């Protein structure tokens, strides 16, 4: 059985989404302590005073198949702005299977990584996060000058929260 989980750092207000066989907290601790290179689990621990007690663990789902767990973990990393890491394409065999099974899903993961790197909402819009029709609709609901200004000054996440999560 594969567990998809969220490790939430209360100090950093960020999350690490992972999957494992067995207990998520035990797996997280083993992985984070044996790594020397930067990874999301290592970063979450570092950002929370290297104290595992500052991190809460929630099992989100269980899967019989590792591929399904891997794909759900990537979906969560792509969809959640608090994720300390984006979707991963490792191991390659899993990515190959995902590409064959659901290429549109894999493309959404890639796009989410691009959007999260954008400094402004306008850059995310240019990268395809929102359509012209969505922006035009906002200009019907909100003052056009405000929307235009916010595209240039807000991050994609803040823009999304202000206009799409009301």
What's the whole-number mean pLDDT along residues 141-163? 91
CA dist., res. 161 & res. 166, Å (int): 7
Q: By C-alpha distance, which of 166, 152, 8, 25 is closest to 76? A: 8
Whole-number pLDDT of residue 35 = 65
Whole-number pLDDT of residue 166 = 61
Say if residue 152's pLDDT is above 90: yes
Whole-number pLDDT of residue 92 = 85
- Residues with Cβ within 8 Å of 37's Cβ and at least 6 positions away in sequence, in order, are none
CB 34 within 8 A of CB 26: no
What's the whole-number mean pLDDT along residues 59-75? 96
77-131 pLDDT, tens digit per residue, is 988 878 888 888 888 888 898 889 999 998 888 888 788 778 899 998 998 888 9
11-20 pLDDT, tens digit per residue, is 988 899 999 9
Q: What angle do CA 30, 31, 36 make, to 5 degrees?
A: 115
Say if residue 156's pLDDT is above 90: no
**Helices in the chain by DSSP H: which ranges?**
24-34, 40-47, 66-79, 92-101, 103-117, 121-126, 132-141, 144-153, 156-163
Please name the residue that has the structure tokens 């796009």. Answer: 111
């Amino acid at each position: 059985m594969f567990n998809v989980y969220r490790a939430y750092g209360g100090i950093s207000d960020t999350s690490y989404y992972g999957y494992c066989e067995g207990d998520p907290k035990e797996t997280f601790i083993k992985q984070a302590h044996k790594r020397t290179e930067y990874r999301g689990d290592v970063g979450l621990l570092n950002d929370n005073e290297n104290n595992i007690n500052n991190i809460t663990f929630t099992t989100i789902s269980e899967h019989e198949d590792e591929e399904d767990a891997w794909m759900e973990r990537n979906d969560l990393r792509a969809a959640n702005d608090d994720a300390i890491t984006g979707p991963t394409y490792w191991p390659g065999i899993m990515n190959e299977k995902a590409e064959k099974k659901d290429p549109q899903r894999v493309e959404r993961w890639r796009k989410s990584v691009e959007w999260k790197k954008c400094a402004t909402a306008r850059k995310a819009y240019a990268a395809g996060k929102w359509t012209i029709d969505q922006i035009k609709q906002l200009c019907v609901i909100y003052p056009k000058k405000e929307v235009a200004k916010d595209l240039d000054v807000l991050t994609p996440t803040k823009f999304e929260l202000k206009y799409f999560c009301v």
